[in-house]
Amino acid sequence: MKSIDLFSGAGGLSCGLGMAGFTPILANELIAAHANTYQINNENTSVIVGDVRQVCETNLKSKLGLKKGELDLLAGGPPCQGFSVNAPIRDLDDERNHLFKDFLRVANELLPKAILIENVPGIVSLGKGTVVKQIYKELESLGYSVQHKILFAGHYGVPQTRFRTIIIAVKGNIGISFPEPEYDSKAVANFAGARELCIHLSPLFSQDLLPQTTVSDAISDLPEIQSGSKNPPMKYLNEAKGSYQSFLRNGSNLIHNHSCNGLGKINLDRLKHIPQGGNWTNIPHEMLPKGMQRARRSDHTKRYGRLHPEGMCSTILTKCDPHWGAFIHPEQDRVLSVREAARIQSFPDSYHFTGTIPQQYEQVGNAVPPFLAKKIGEEIIKIIG
């Protein structure tokens, strides 16, 4: 099964699709540091670094030796900053949103058997739903059946409360299905369209599901490190604890990217007051930043959050910054390392990240969780088989 990954980032989508059985033959990424990470982990894939419009202007069929309709899957996550529910601008005029048109131009050129588009949940309400309607219109005009849902990563064994909008298109008049939940994991979806588009677990069937993957399941075997430490590859000190760690450690002899951002003394002092599962409200009032001293205790409940080992992590962002959310290690007074963030995203330990530490955090935070991509890829293979 051959695939192309546009807007590939560091390669989370390709990583998971590879687990499902797809082989990426071409990828495109704008940011060189992200593309370098993709390339070292996908040595046999042709990686085009630069604007996606360079891909559109390339004669892909001759470059890849493909005829129209031969490619199995065109996948990608066009940049989502303009669509994010947290972005100050949620407008169709945001130039980043027009990158969808470039993605669709490639689809028109190749007419693959299936198309996978992933994005933030906020895309479903952007322009009162007109962006999704336009994607349907364009793909249906090319002869595709189209469906979309909002999938929760926790349902597929990922230990974080991450939601993604998934659009699947298949050539011809074919029924489209989405992967059924396998893990008994729950989270509150606080965005428009959640009720209709999310897959809900029936209490009757939850007893047949696997227990949700926890923070401890993901990172409890990794060695202790100091706040701000930049570490070379490290040896595993213990055996893997559980199936999640065993799977992610398979094929890796050393722990790479187990380094983390540092914190100033005042923040390190604040961390000492936060218990597992706690947050900024556990910090003595006089130690809080001035702005947070005026906040209501019901506000910013993720800020300065220390993860609970038996809970899930909030969505991994492009910075594991205590001001942004709950990214404090359950037992150590520091933020999560790049490798710990990658574990919580479900990247295998054999997947290595390059560039500066901030660039590595950004690559991990922007990625599609590979386990989620794997399940979507398996479902697409069933459909186009």
Determine whether 80 is an active site residue: yes
Name the catalytic one among 15, 56, 80, 313.
80
Cα 218-254-159 angle, rounded to 5 deg? 10
Tally Cβ neighbours within 10 Å of residue 86. Answer: 9
CA atoms within 13 A on the CB side of 235: 2
**DSSP assignment letter at 149:** E
CA atoms within 13 A on the CB side of 47: 24
Residue with tokens 């990563």: 153
Using only the alpha carbons of the chain, give its radius of gyration.
21
CA atoms within 13 A on the CB side of 192: 12
* Residues contacting residue 172 through CB under 8 Å, at least 6 positions apart: 143, 144, 145
- Per the CB < 8 A criterion, the answer to whether 289 and 309 are in contact is no
Tally Cβ neighbours within 10 Å of residue 93. Answer: 9
**DSSP assignment letter at 334:** S
> What residues are labeled active site?
80
